[in-house]
Chains A and B, each alone.
Chain A
Amino acid sequence: MVNIRVEDLIKDYKVGDITVRALNGVSLDIKESSFISIAGPSGSGKTTLLNIIGCLDKSTNGDLFFNDKNITGYDDNRLTSFRNDNIGFIFQDFNLIPVLTVYENVEFPLCINPKFKGNHKKNVEEILKMVGIFELKDRLPKELSGGQKQRVAIARALIKKPLIVLADEPTANLDSDNAKNVMEIMKQMNRDLKTTFLFSTHDKLVMDFAEKIIHLRDGKIVEEN
């Protein structure tokens, strides 16, 4: 079953007087519980595509459907609310909040979502155990290794059980062992929680985990396998 559909996406950026086309007619179907990698050289449009699917940026043209609902015309407030309910993010630089403990960082998305009123302890501890960092729950991000930080970021992205998790180069700042571990956890979460994962990467090792790889070049899909 297809739950995210991208139709003929075009994204233009203005750089001074010049218009640069970052995406040029990208169409894509993302099925439920899939684990997809977007590959391509720098400047191919990977991050732009993820930003548009993640509702952080708007396309110049084209449509974006979530469960057959076209969300292209949503205003900023509706998009914020939509992200809050449906999308999880994992960033290359982890982007944890430095003054909050591991537990609080993971709890954060529940605190901003009115659907999760009440005690969050059970949910947070459960996800921390799933990603294997329960014993680190009282530590601050500065007391963690890169791999541990990315596990916190995965837990934070999954805590509210989103429709899709978007990860922009999730292993770029990790050594190969940690990168492998992080990918294994993401894959396991994909299997156990049936959450869709869409991630961009350059790394061959990371691509090997994907069920499907979408190759982008110059803003166009050149290959899907």
Chain B
Amino acid sequence: MLFWIKFAVKNVWRNKNRTILTLVPIIFGVFLFIISQSLLEGLNKESIENLINYETSSLKIVSKNFSIDEKRIDINDITFIVPEPVIDFLKNSSFVESFTYEIFFMGNLSDGLNRFPVIVKGIDFKTYKNTYLTFHNSYPRVENFKEGETFIGDEILRYLQVPPDSFFVVQSRTGSGTFDAFDVKYSGIISTGNPKVDRNTIFIDLNQARSFLNMPEKVSAVSIKLKKDISLYKFLKSFKQVISKYPQLKLVTWEDFTTEIKAIDSAKKSSSSILIFVILLIGAVGIANTIFLSIYERFKEIGTMRSIGTPNKIILLIFTLEGATIGFLGSLIGMFLGGLGSYYLYKVGIDFSSMIGNMDIGYPKNSLFRSDFNIFLILKAGFLGILFGILASFYPARRAVKENIIRIMK
């Protein structure tokens, strides 16, 4: 086999210029495959991290009326009192890292001139900080915030440009359905990279929220963070037995929130795969053309090989190896360039803010895209390039064994 591989490599370099031109679309296709797929993988991974770290934690206890898809929040429908046995279970479970209560409702944030629709989240700061990373990305960094203070998503402040310690008015319906308002002092900003938090969420103290809504003891959700390396399913198995005693409650995991991300990811991967397939197909046509030209130029040589008894399978092997060599060289360069590009995007990222601004791209993340540097993806791209090379050369190679020996020797 080594003899035939050496022979194929030598044949490929017979016409350097043609080979280099043939390599270009393969290099481009493999490069683009690595960049686009690693960016989409990175986008997907970061979106899920953003979801877990800032929105869902590992899982939530919610009211049975809670719906992930429902954008309107009816506070009376979704709030509940957490049963004591549930709290005891969570406190004593060796699987649970931390848990926190939250109550959220729709409201309008006003600086006196402008009004901005927001989700108001009432939280218990200390437990919230242990369950979510939201306040790891606050400015200034705080150890606590008091009743009457608020932290606001940084994107909101782009519209409401006010200095720190300014006061806002929050208007909303209370638990009894009447409109009311309360003042909050703007103490800092939250900048998480998750647009759902940064663009439309303000955080206030849990007791202040309960008191405004006139819903003491009630919560909208209990977020639970599991310890590292603890299987969600293992925990659910035992916890579901506890929750099933309370038909007004249900559990939603972070995976339940990813349906939309998965659908968008799958659609984007499919569309980018089609584009890459077209580019690689152009590359494959280039390889097929090069092998055809090579066969026509080397008819006499093929005739000689066949006349001295070279079996058809070896002639097929020779030309298929030539296609594979072109595919391999193109893939190797594409893998190198794609690997470099992917590593750069993994470390530095690419900021699409000038292109997409505040547009909702369907992923819970900001406009700075980072790739997921994945060596298996790079190897997969290389394999794909070689496979295209082999498939593209197989048909022309068949042509070489079908010609009449006497005719091609003339």
**A contact residues vs B (CB 8 Å cutoff):** 51, 54, 56-57, 77, 80-85, 87-89, 91, 93, 95, 97-100, 104, 107-109, 111-113, 156-157
Contacts and interface: CB of A to CB of B under 8 A. Distances in A.
B309 A99 contact: no
Interface string B230-255: 00000000000000000000000000
A43 to B, nearest CB: 15
A111 B14 contact: no
A56 B11 contact: no
Contacts of B14: 98-99
B93 interface: no
Interface stretch (B266-274, B298-306, B359-367): B298-306
B10 to A, nearest CB: 4
B307 interface: yes
Given A56-B406, A57-B406, A99-B14, A156 B301 contact: no
Nearest to B1: A111
Contact of B304 (A88, A97, A113): A97
Given A51-B406, A99-B11, A99-B14, A109 B304 contact: no
Contacts of B310: 80, 84, 112
Interface of B: 3-4, 7, 10-11, 14, 300-301, 304-312, 314, 405-406, 409
A95 B301 contact: yes
B309 A112 contact: yes
21 contacts: A51-B406, A77-B312, A80-B306, A80-B311, A81-B309, A81-B311, A82-B309, A83-B309, A84-B308, A84-B311, A97-B304, A99-B11, A100-B7, A100-B10, A104-B7, A109-B308, A111-B4, A112-B308, A112-B309, A156-B308, A157-B308
Contacts of B405: 56-57
Contact of A84 (B4, B301, B309, B409): B309
A166 to B, nearest CB: 9
Contacts of B312: 77, 80
Nearest to B14: A99
A93 B4 CA distance: 24
A83 B406 contact: no
